[in-house]
A and B are shown apart, each in its own frame.
Chain A
Amino acid sequence: MKRSTYVERLARVPLFRVLAKKDLALVARHAEQVRIPAGKEIVREGGTGYEFFVIASGRATVKRKGRKVAALKLGDHFGELALLGAGTRNASVVAETDMDLYVLGRRDFAALLREVPEVAVKLLQGLAQRLSESDSKPRR
């Protein structure tokens, strides 16, 4: 993909929308773009996690213990928990359609958080929302 198109597509991802052009270029340098066929398990619950993913196109399903717990689409991201914590995936993610993903390895992810605080803050807001939702659900 042409570099300018790549940066323009990155700019449409909500996680990166607040970024200045130079920061987008930085994300583009760190991220790899990969294509995933429908049906493929991208991350596996209980496995070790080495990457962070942002969806450039397509849809995916998040499953925990075989049960669907969330649906992901264009602009959504996943995989950050394992990179921020113990390293174990706490859910599986399966491609529902063919997908285009931006992929950041552990080191690039850490570098991005360090160099572009806006991304860290956006991720914090996302985690805070998930944590609030999870806390407000009744315990079993």
Chain B
Amino acid sequence: MTEKSYLDHLAAVPLFAACAKKDLKLIARRAEHVTVREGKEVVKEGQPGHEFFVIAGGKATVKRKGKKVAALGPGAYFGELALLDRAPRNASVVAGTDLELFVLGQREFSGLLDEVPGLAHKLLSGMARRLREADARGVH
């Protein structure tokens, strides 16, 4: 991918939508772009997690104890929980089609949270929504 189309791809991700161009470049420098085959388990429930993923293209399924709990498409992200609380992955994610992913390692992810404040805020909003949904399902 050329640098320009790489940046365009990143800018199209809602999580990065508020990022300035210099922030996008920083993310582009830190992130790796990988292709994953359909059917592959990208993260495995119960395993330690060291990466954060953003879907650039394709679809994935989130499973917990073998049961589908969510579907992810382009622009969605996953893997942040294990990086933030250092607990094992709380779900598996399986590629439903061939997937194009931006991947950030633990260190790159932490660095970006410090250097791109809008990013932490976006993640916080996403997580707040999930937590409210979980609470509303009557878990407690």
Whether B140 and A69, one on each chain, are in contact in the complex, defined by CB atoms closer than 8 angstroms, is yes
A104 to chain B, nearest CB (A): 14
Band of interface residues on B: 20 to 34
The verdict on A71 contacting chain B, using a C-beta distance below 8 Å, is: no
Of B2-10, B27-35, B118-126, the stretch lying at the interface with chain A is B118-126
Whether A140 and B139, one on each chain, are in contact in the complex, defined by CB atoms closer than 8 angstroms, is yes
Whether B123 and A64, one on each chain, are in contact in the complex, defined by CB atoms closer than 8 angstroms, is no
- Give the chain A neighbours of B136 by CB distance below 8 A: 90
Interface residues of A in 114-140 (CB under 8 A from B): 114-115, 117-118, 120-121, 123-125, 127-132, 134-137, 139-140
Interface residue ranges, B against A (CB under 8 Å): 64, 80-81, 84-85, 87, 90-91, 110, 113-115, 117-118, 120-121, 123-125, 127-132, 134-140
Whether B131 and A134, one on each chain, are in contact in the complex, defined by CB atoms closer than 8 angstroms, is yes
Report the nearest A residue to B140, measured CB to CB.
A69
- Give the chain B neighbours of A38 by CB distance below 8 A: none
Interface residue ranges, A against B (CB under 8 Å): 64, 67, 69, 80-81, 84-86, 90-91, 110, 113-115, 117-118, 120-121, 123-125, 127-132, 134-137, 139-140
- Given A80-B128, A124-B124, check contact A132 B81 (CB 8 Å): yes
